[in-house]
Amino acid sequence: MQMKNTESGPRVREELIQLLPRLRRLARALTGHVDDADDLVQLVVERALARASQWRPDGALDRWVFAIARNAWRDELRARGRSREVFVPEDDGAAAVADGGTPPARRLALAEALAALPEDHREVVALVLVEGLSYGQAAELLGVPVGTVTSRLSRARMALQDHLGTDA
C-alpha cells in the first residue's frame, strides 16, 4: 500500500511551473524536433501532476521530472517502432531559449548534429551540457556508472565537433 503525501501535489504544481523552460530545453534536446518536444512536455507535465504523490519532497524535483521525460520519450520511440530518426526542425533551428546572437544556420547545424547522436549520447549531452546536472546526478538518473556518463559525453563531444567542424 502506497502512502499518499497530500502536501506534495500543490508543491509539485508550483515548482513544475518554474521548471517548464528547463523541461522544454531537455525535450528539444532529446527529440530534436519542436512538435515532438512540445508533445513530450505536455505528456511529462500530465504524468508529473497525476503522480505528484509519488514524488519524495526530500528528492530533487528536476531529476524526478527529467526521469519521467526520458522514460516517456523512450516509450514514444518504442511505440513509433523506430530506434532513431533524424529530424530537421521546421523552423530552421529556432532556439528553445534565447540564442545569444547565434546565426540560424549555426543553430540548425547544432540541432542536426544533436539529432544525429545516438540516443544514449544525446541524453547525456542534454542532462550534463544543456541542463547542467553533474556527472553523478546524470549517472544516477540514467542508472549507469559515472564512468559511462563520462565516456558517452566524451564520444558525444567528439562527434559534435566532427559534425560541426574543428572550430566548434
Q: Global pTM?
A: 0.59
pLDDT for the residue numbered 60: 86
Residue 61 in any domain: the answer is yes
C-alpha cell read off for 21: 523552460
Residue 3 in any domain: the answer is no
CATH of the domain at 34: 1.20.140.160
Going by pLDDT thresholds of 50, 70 and 90, the confidence category of residue 96 is very low
Highest mean pLDDT (candidates 54-63, 92-101, 137-146)? 137-146
Residue 1 in any domain: the answer is no
Residue 50 in any domain: the answer is yes
Going by pLDDT thresholds of 50, 70 and 90, the confidence category of residue 54 is confident
Grid look-up 521525460 returns 69
Residue 2 in any domain: the answer is no
- Provide the residue range defining the domain that includes 137: 8-94+102-164
Which one is predicted more confidently, 102 or 168? 102
pLDDT for the residue numbered 163: 84
Domain count, the chain: 1
Residue 64 in any domain: the answer is yes
Residue 41 in any domain: the answer is yes
Residue 29 in any domain: the answer is yes
Please check whether residue 122 is in contact with residue 90, taking contact to mean a CB–CB distance below 8 angstroms.
no
